[in-house]
Chain A
Amino acid sequence: MCWGRLWFGAVAACLTVLACMTAAASSRTDGRLPDGKPQRIMSTNMCSDILLLMLVPKDRIASITYLAHDQVEVLMPGADAGVAINHGSAEEVVAQHPDLILASPWSASAMRRLAGKVRAPLIEIEAANSFDDIRRITRQVGRAVGEPGRAEVLIAEMDAKLALLDRDRPTRPIEVAAWSSGDTVPGAGTLTDEIIRRAGAVNLARRMPDASYSTFGVEELLAARPDAIMRGEDRYDGPALRDAVSEHPAIRKAYAGRRISYPASLYACGLPQSADAALQLRAALAKVPQGGVRW
């Protein structure tokens, strides 16, 4: 999701600036992992924060990002109690002496230099755009933190839910738009699109000419006549005007009983819980009145 990316972008920007300050460092870390289980793991990526909290006990976590808290409150309340936070800054990396750093591709190049300074291996975690990506990333982090078995358990749970979804998929899929403000509507090749598909619906944005993220206003949304409108509801992504806009009276009138709220956090980060998101969406879709909109 766009705001997820923006968050990572901010962390990356912060790191880039700080990396310039420490540009003297030239040593490189290789991808080799330490023998045994890392005991001071530092995560500088909001999505890997969550994975880390699920995979290892809290006492082996050096810190997670300051962005994670709200999302943790949504996904697993209280799981981050007592865990230190970082802002992805150079001082923190040096001060916290991590023995493993989880970074996003946006911050990886800047973080690599710092990782060299503290002699900690660095794992680059890509953003997930599909359930295949989620499996790959969960395994990658699981191996890195020395808990591959735990990762397989999480993946198996996810796959069981996905199998359940595939077994009784609705015969006539309805069309939905993940429209929260019109700034960005996730289309083909996004995790949101995949969750919508697995839940048994068709993503309206696939019909739109633009690529992954298209934009359209209320007028275009109404003219496209989706069967239902999905709306990101989490407070974790903070206050923004789009809630007011998605309450536009035209949409309220035209889509009474056809507006689905969804947990944006599960769509922003590819996590094993994304299967739960697809299950929830399936349940919500079942409540949408049959047949298209009346007007």
Chain B
Amino acid sequence: MVGRAAWPLLTAVLLVVGVLLSLGTGRVWLDPAVLAGSLFEPKPNLPWLILSELRMPRTVLAVLAGATLGLAGAALQGLLRNPLAEPGLLGVSPGAALGAVIAIYFGLSGSFALATPMLGIAGALAAASLTLMAGRGGTLTMILAGVAVSGLMAAGLSLALNFAPNPYAAYEMTIWLLGSLADRDWSQVLLAAPFILAGWVCLALTARDLDALTLGEAQAQSLGIDLSRTRFLALAGTALSVGAATAVTGTIGFIGLLAPHLVRPFVGHQPSRVLLPSALFGAILLLFADVATRIIPTAQEVKLGVLTSLVGTPFFFWLVARLRRMSP
């Protein structure tokens, strides 16, 4: 086991290794020396095209989306004081997915490449406002409102698939929903990045309140914490960051659930101290998962969201077993 003092070093090493692997691997094998050398060759050349236009945006997106999921997961687990909370719980990810699917449904994505992420962000914000409006008042009402909004968004997704203009569009939507970072470009990264960063700021602002919340809602309020402000910040932060990330990548499950649990043994259970490590580990997990999708030799690239779910489910079982051991 790594000691508490060593985790920043371990995280940094893993993050750098993940980034380098993500830049160095692909469905096409290119010698790392050639890739690095392409920077100084006359442009455009093939390795440089692949590195700058395909692998770099993909890597940046993996870091942004992974960190977003880890951070939002940690903040929501702190806010709701529930180990099973994850970014999808409040209806934000299904909202983003619905927005994006609507863009595909009406063919907007065909005429305008950024229509899918833009409508995805709009969908996430709409879903979050609905959750916030319906779930004012308490933590439990917020979870229930989130479940209701998720259900509504899922129904909308099914409706869009039901009325898909042709089977090819339905196929397109289904594939998009599986989640992937393949063949994304800089314009999509640049579109999502401001929303993601704004979301991070909102989530980071909740850190102190989350610590107080560990004592219970009444105690936190007596300490002078404005709980409705905390809830608003957490939800707005999740909507902005997770919504923007989901709008570009499609739904990617389990990272937001997994990352906080992974880091707690190293950094302790104080919510504010979990936030940053959880974000970093989310980024690391997503980077390695995305590298794995490219290395696993299948005819069709295995989709990132499918892989994270496959790998994440055993973790869920482990979590259940651990809870059972710990409960009297």
A binding-site residues for B, Cβ under 8 Å? 2-3, 6-7, 9-10, 67, 182-183, 210, 214-220, 222-223, 225, 237-245, 247-250, 253-254, 294-295
Contact = CB atoms under 8 A, between A and B. Distances in A.
Nearest to B46: A295
Given A238-B168, A239-B165, 11 more contacts: A6-B167, A217-B182, A217-B301, A219-B183, A222-B50, A223-B30, A238-B166, A239-B109, A244-B113, A245-B183, A250-B49
Interface string B162-179: 000111110110011000
B106 interface: yes
Given A238-B165, A238-B166, A250-B54, A295 B45 contact: yes
B109 A250 contact: no
Nearest to B187: A249
Nearest to A251: B53
Nearest to B28: A223
B118 to A, nearest CB: 12
Given A220-B27, A244-B110, A239 B50 contact: no
A218 B167 contact: no
Contacts of A3: 166-168
Nearest to B108: A239
B42 to A, nearest CB: 9
A216 B298 CA distance: 11
A295 B167 contact: no
Nearest to B186: A249
B44 interface: yes
Contacts of B176: 241
Nearest to A211: B299
A214 B105 CA distance: 25
Interface in B91-123: 104-113, 115-116
Contacts of B112: 244
Interface in B1-60: 26-28, 30, 43-46, 49-50, 53-55
B113 A242 contact: no
A242 B172 contact: yes
Give the bracket for the number of chain B residues in contact with chain A: 35 or more
Contacts of A253: 44, 49, 53
Given A239-B110, A247-B113, A250-B53, A217 B183 contact: yes
B116 A241 contact: yes
Contacts of A247: 113
A216 B183 CA distance: 11
Contact of B169 (A238, A248, A254): A238
Contacts of A6: 166-168, 171
Contacts of A239: 104-110, 165, 169
B27 A219 contact: yes
A244 B43 CA distance: 25
Contacts of A240: 104, 107, 109-110, 168-169, 172
Given A217-B301, A222-B50, A243 B187 contact: no
A245 B167 CA distance: 19
Contacts of B30: 223
A182 B49 contact: no
Contacts of B55: 219
Contacts of B301: 215, 217
Contacts of B167: 3, 6-7, 9-10
Interface in B185-223: 185-187
| Closest 9 A/B residue pairs (Cβ) | A239-B107, A250-B53, A3-B168, A243-B110, A244-B113, A223-B28, A6-B167, A238-B166, A10-B167
A250 B44 CA distance: 10
B327 interface: no
A210 B299 CA distance: 8
B82 interface: no
A219 B26 contact: yes
Contacts of B165: 238-239
A254 to B, nearest CB: 6
Given A237-B168, A239-B106, A240-B172, A250 B46 contact: no
A239 B119 CA distance: 16
Nearest to A247: B113
Contacts of B26: 219
A264 B20 CA distance: 40
